[in-house]
Amino acid sequence: MTDPMQTATSGHAADGLWRLARVALVLLAVSLSGAASAQEVTGRVLDAETEAPIPGATVRVDGAGRGTAANVEGHFRLTLTPGDHWLLVTAVGYEPQRVHAHDGHAMTIRLAPASTAFDAVTVEGERAVAGSPSAPTKAPGTTEDLLGRLPAVRMIQRANFASEPVVRGYSGGQIALTIDGMPVYGACVDKMDPASSYVEPENLAAVEVSKGAGDLSRGSQIGGAVDLVTERPRFGVPFAAEVESGIESNGLARRVRGAASWSSGALAVRASGSYRGSGDYAPGGGAAIETSGYEKRNLAAAASLRLGEGHALTAQLLTDDAWLVGYPALLMDAVLAQARIGSLQYEGHGLGLDRIDARLYRNRVDHYMDDRDRNVLAREVMRGMYMPMDGYTDVTGARTELGRSVGATGLSLTADLHRLRQFGDMTMYSVYPGIRDMVLLNVGDVEALNGALTLEARRPFGDRLAVSVSGRLDGTARDVGREEMRQLFERRTGSDDVARELLIPSVSATASYALSPQTQFRLTLADAGRLPTVVEQYGHYVYNYVDGYFYTGDPDLAPERSRQVELGLAHASDRFAIEASAFAHQLRDLVIGLADNDVVGGLAGSTYRFRLYDNAESGWMAGGEVSGLARLGGGLEAVASVSAAVGQNTTFDEPLPMIPPVGGVAALRYDRTPVFAEVEGRWALAQDRVARFTYAERETDGFAVFAVRTGWRPSSGVLAGLRLQAGVENVLDTYYQEHLAISDLAARGRSFYLTLGFDL
């Protein structure tokens, strides 16, 4: 246990942190004072058909990953090093364009509208180097379909619905999962509703994935960040619309979705909606799994108003509702899961700043679980009791991003302040007479005020070297609102004050060196910490479906910390692209669960098993990813990616839990308008490095599954705008289990699908 006021400025943690901070500050000082031979390119990105600006278009140095985004008028400014010759310009709904960089001259870049919009989900963190080898040819049916295909990203499968992303083996509070940079917290204390479950593909403009703590602006995290960037209205397009409908044979999964946009003068509006649902799905070679279906709808609307040259105000609202969600691997099902996510955003410049992005936001998530259709006499845990439960999270906050160029140095400041309220409870009804009903508080109306400040500086240094350094400070003040919960934690801590305050600094530095115009080497160093989640600090009898124990929080948890080093190599040419990275992380104060010896039923084999959140002193994580693309000519290209991670809890001398096995994807693709096709294989090795003592984790076998996909999308004629896709997933009807699937839940078997869409 640690002192209630936790900081990372004491002991051995402070030594390493401030050594790295001093190195980062020296690099920053040298880069700010040294003479650089950098040049600056400015320009504007326009629609090739309408000459309207394309706000948010991404302009990157091809092969380097450095770039910027166009403002609301389509204008951009980008600092180049002498080795930067080509720019890659992309925007959702438009064909990407590779253009020569003209130092010191204004450029006008016109992008042609793409024939498909739903397929054009930009994966910012991947496409810049390796041509998006893992981006799906198939229109993604869900956001999880897209996330699960990215290198280093895997999904925790709890059912046929709402999988949770894992980045390099980090999950939960170890990664930041945001929507437009806004924190959205799931309301289910058992993690059945991650923020990604409330966003549909038609909402998306981009998925931005960062790995490790190199990017500190995304949130309080040590393992990476996933930001779901939503689509916004477009100026200059009088009217556009798109519709799509699809069906799959396995479980009779179906979906229909559409979006429409309109603009006139200074006003632009966009609206979208979708419905999807599924019956019980069947694993490979098996019968349908009972209670594995769901239904879901999503509605979103946004309006943008130009306030003048380079200034715009945007209001957005996203609503999402899921019901009758079956969780066959869990104790109960979801009656309703719903989210309401709104924001008001200003984008512009002024006051000596090149970029101002300010946003007020509010979101509310509600989640209701029920087990009254389950046989509670047959289960191993809490036998003979019905336990319907519900909970909510409510977030109100503000986020600001400011950017300014000082000479060749780019400075950015990100600030976020939000208040989180979280509540969860459970009512227990015994089937046996004479036992009265009980109410159990899982999260007793906890309120947390979270704030963060991130400062980053980026500058070319010399002819080929670019350096960026950043520092982040996270702070929180938390307390329990319900008196009965306060008393419980007062007894556990031995103190009459269970309010806690934390202050956590983090630093990182990245150096990129251009070995040639096509090849770049990257080194990242970081020392980062993350805030414990509200459940880790103040949860009570929260059930963990992996090990079958009920967990209670510890207000005095120390923040997890990680010292990190990462090496990256990227090469991109007209016919070949590859990106490789290797990382090693030293972990401190790992948050784990240890048996509660004060509870008699905590013994192994008991139906009443209890653990307390606590810290393990040390551990480590290492691994890497490789992804590549080869253009073979004639419309053919081959793509592949491989990811690997391994971790160890050195305090208890066993592997870290929930680490995905070595796995990857390989595909051969053909794309010659109007026809495209793909043969893909996805595989994983067996995972026998499991955490048996601290997590009761199981081993899993390896697998390989295959898919065949094809489509037709004419670009001219009376059928222009039509999109037809068909294919077979899991062609061989293989029975397999993902390692991150809960309770040996089998994955989907063979499924034929057909998708029809049309763009106006």
Peptide linkage before 674 cis (omega within 30 of 0):
yes
- Residue whose entry in the numeric block shows the structure tokens 């037809």: 724
pLDDT tens by residue, 319-365: 999 999 998 878 888 999 999 999 999 998 888 888 899 999 999 99
What gap in Å lies between CA 356 and CA 404, rounded to an integer? 9
The average confidence (pLDDT) of the chain is 84
Tell me which residue has tokens 């009898």: 541
Q: Helix, strand or coil for residue 186?
A: coil
How far apart are alpha carbons 389 and 538 in whole angstroms?
Answer: 17
Q: Which of 520, 686, 659 is nearest to 585 (CA)?
A: 659
Give the confidence band of 17 by pLDDT, cuts at 50, 70, 90: very low
Are 439 and 427 a contacting pair, CB within 8 Å? yes
List Cβ neighbours of 375 (8 Å cut-off, separation of 6 or more).
none
Give the pair of three-digit tokens for residue 593.
Answer: 């669960």
How far is 394 from 362, CA to CA, in rounded Å?
8
Which residue, among 542, 533, 540, 548, has the nearest Cα to 697 in the 3D structure? 548
All structural domains of the chain with their residue ranges: 6-30+121-759, 38-111
The most confident of 16-25, 39-48, 279-288, 428-437, by mean pLDDT? 279-288
- Whole-angstrom distance, CA of residue 465 vs CA of residue 414: 25
- Side by side, the strands of the sheet bearing 204-211 are 122-123, 204-211, 224-230, 176-179, 182-183
Least confident interval from 195-199, 425-429, 650-654: 425-429
**How far is 130 from 134, CA to CA, in rounded Å?**
9
pLDDT tens across 616-658, in order?
A: 999 999 999 998 888 898 889 898 989 999 999 999 999 999 9
Calculate mean pLDDT across residues 221-227.
92
Residue 727's pLDDT is what?
Answer: 94
Q: What percent of the chain has pLDDT over 70?
A: 87
User: Domain 38-111, CATH 3.40.50.150 — does that match?
Assistant: no
Whether residue 336 contacts residue 368, with contact meaning beta carbons closer than 8 Å, is answered with yes
For 76-122, the pLDDT digits (tens) are 888 777 667 778 887 755 667 778 776 556 788 888 765 333 323 34
Residue 221: band (very low, low, confident or very high) from pLDDT cuts 50, 70, 90? very high
For 6-30+121-759, the fitting CATH number among 2.10.10.90, 2.40.170.20, 3.40.1370.10, 2.70.98.70 is 2.40.170.20
Residue 42: the pLDDT is 86
pLDDT at 133: 42
> DSSP assignment, residue 532?
P
Q: Which of 77-86, 119-128, 179-188, 546-555 has the lowest mean pLDDT?
A: 119-128
Residue type, position 108, single letter: T
User: pLDDT tens across 668-693, in order?
Assistant: 988 888 898 999 999 999 999 999 88
The torsion defined by the Cα of 61, 63, 66 and 72, in degrees rounded to 10, comes to 50
The yes-or-no verdict on residue 749 having pLDDT over 70 is yes
350 phi/psi in degrees, rounded to 5: 135, 180
Q: What's the mean pLDDT in 207-221?
A: 88
pLDDT of residue 604: 43
